[in-house]
Amino acid sequence: MTPMARQLSYPKEKIKILLLEGIHPAAGGVFQEAGYEAHPVRSAMSQEELREAIEHIHVLGIRSKTEVRQPVLESARRLLAIGCFCIGTDRVDLDAAASRGVPVFNAPFSNTRSVAELTMAEVVMLSRKAAYRSMQLHLGCWEKSASGSREVRHKTIGIVGYGHIGSQVGLLAESFGMRVVFYDIVNKLPLGNAKQLPTLRQLLKISDFVTLHVPESPETRNMIGRRELAAMRSGSFLLNLSRGSVVDIEALRDALAAGHLAGAAVDVYPHEPKSNEAEFRCALRGLENVILTPHIGGSTEEAQRSIGIEVAGALVKYMDTGSSGGAVNFPQVELPVVKNRHRVLNVHRNVPGVLGNINRIVAEMGGNISAQCLGTRRDIGYLIMDVDQLISREVKRKIDMLDTTIKTRLLF
């Protein structure tokens, strides 16, 4: 047991953890080390199946195929937390989960490096027309030529969105001897010799390679359209490993067909097939020097493993200490664990007077609060409070009776 770990008022062996969709076994290992037993299932569950199964589940782990919507949450009477063992959390109704006192955790950075590595590999492949030449060779055509094949050293890479992935791409590109410029709506500390530019237009004008690493948002929808493509240097390359909505695909096809762009690498699409069996339809199919990959930028074994460890770790920490750090739909509250204290965790409706009422309960019992931390997010408040061991059960019982309370747990 780690020094942070403590017992739950509810025995750990009775906590039911269901991990769907073949979540990496490393996650099970994290739970086991903390004294929990997880039940892994290879497949996803339909809404009906999950609705039935979830009734007795305390912790649910999903990937991208299982949806957790209102009807499922209504049956989830015992559910304490959800782990999305992936980056996105759009499969879960986050507000409905929060309103039931259920935090949702994900793994936002576990595959950052995987995306950055593929991006750089594709920069080189595009510059050498390597994917195209490989395809030709598979067809039996020996096309040995240096024409149009260039080193990436001393070329300029323009990174749009200098967040976790973008900044890693910048570091790798610099090791290749490239000049790195970036555009971001936020002022960022440039790593290495990278230079932030004030406008997207300036970046497009001077970059040999433009690589997109922005999130999906109303502002980034079609942020690379006809105008932006026309503003790019003639003979330059575009890479999109961010989200399909960021690029106007038809406009990109036209820019490539017209020879204005020398090539593109695309990993994400406005419409992606729902399964590996469905046909991939896209205006970019069949174009020369266009590398198409099926949304695999972040799909590596290392990333899957680190997602397993990261999300399971966050869930264990929440179960063991109440810490909600990293939850996407919940107030972020952490409090160091101290010995010989019982910990009360209370999720409540965020209305005035809750903390006063809770403190009054402890004061009226002549108890002592040794530490307390409260955070709010929208309609939800979350309190972690350490109290004397003798009064903790009674304090929990009384807090449970407040009409503002959504969920209360006791750790000791």
Give 7 or 217: the residue with its C-beta nearer to ligand NAI. 217
113 makes contact with ligand NAI (CB under 6 A): no
Q: Is 242 in the site for ligand NAI (CB under 6 A)?
A: yes
Q: Give the interface segment with ligand NAI, choosing from 64-72, 96-104, 217-225, 281-289 (CB under 6 A).
A: 217-225
The single-letter code of the amino acid at 350 is N
Based on CB atoms, which residue is closest to ligand NAI, 25 or 215? 215
The nearest distance, CB 183 to ligand NAI, in angstroms, is 6
Residue in 295, 349, 377, 407 binding ligand NAI, rule: CB under 6 A: 295
What is the pattern of x (binds ligand NAI, CB under 6 A) and - over residues 248-277? -------------------xx---------
> Can residue 101 be called a binding residue for ligand NAI (CB under 6 A)?
no
Window contacting ligand NAI (CB under 6 A); options: 41-49, 55-63, 157-165, 364-372: 157-165
User: Residue 101, Cα to own-chain centre: how many angstroms?
Assistant: 21
Residues in contact with ligand NAI, counted by CB under 6 A, come to a total of: 30
Cβ density class 387-404: b for 16+ within 10 Å, e for less:
bbeebbeebbebbeebeb
Per annotation, catalytic residue among 227, 272, 378, 397: 272
Asked if residue 170 lies in contact with residue 159, where contact means CB atoms within 8 angstroms, the answer is: yes
Does the protein bind ligand NAI through residue 33 (CB under 6 A)? no
Catalytic member of 69, 78, 164, 295: 295
301 binds ligand NAI (CB under 6 A): no
Interface pick for ligand NAI out of 35, 163, 170, 263 (rule CB under 6 A): 163
Question: Cα–Cα distance between 335 and 358 in angstroms, integer?
Answer: 17
Instruction: Check if 243 is active-site.
Output: yes
**Which member of 106, 207, 220, 329 binds ligand NAI (CB under 6 A)?**
220
| Residue 299 to residue 160: CA distance in whole angstroms | 22
Select the residue interacting with ligand NAI from 45, 68, 80, 165 (CB under 6 A). 165
Sheet holding 342-349, edge to edge: 369-377, 380-387, 342-349, 405-411
Q: Is 272 a catalytic residue?
A: yes
User: What is the smallest separation between the CB atom of 86 and ligand NAI, expressed in angstroms?
Assistant: 9
**How far apart are CB 23 and ligand NAI at their closest, in Å?**
17
Q: Could you tell me which stretch among 89-97, 111-119, 324-332, 376-384 binds ligand NAI (CB under 6 A)?
A: 111-119
Question: Which residue, 35 or 326, is less far from ligand NAI as judged by CB?
Answer: 326
Q: By CB under 6 A, tell whether 381 contacts ligand NAI.
A: no
Where on the chain is the footprint of ligand NAI (CB under 6 A)? 87, 111-112, 115, 160-166, 183-186, 213-217, 219-220, 241-243, 267-268, 295, 297-298
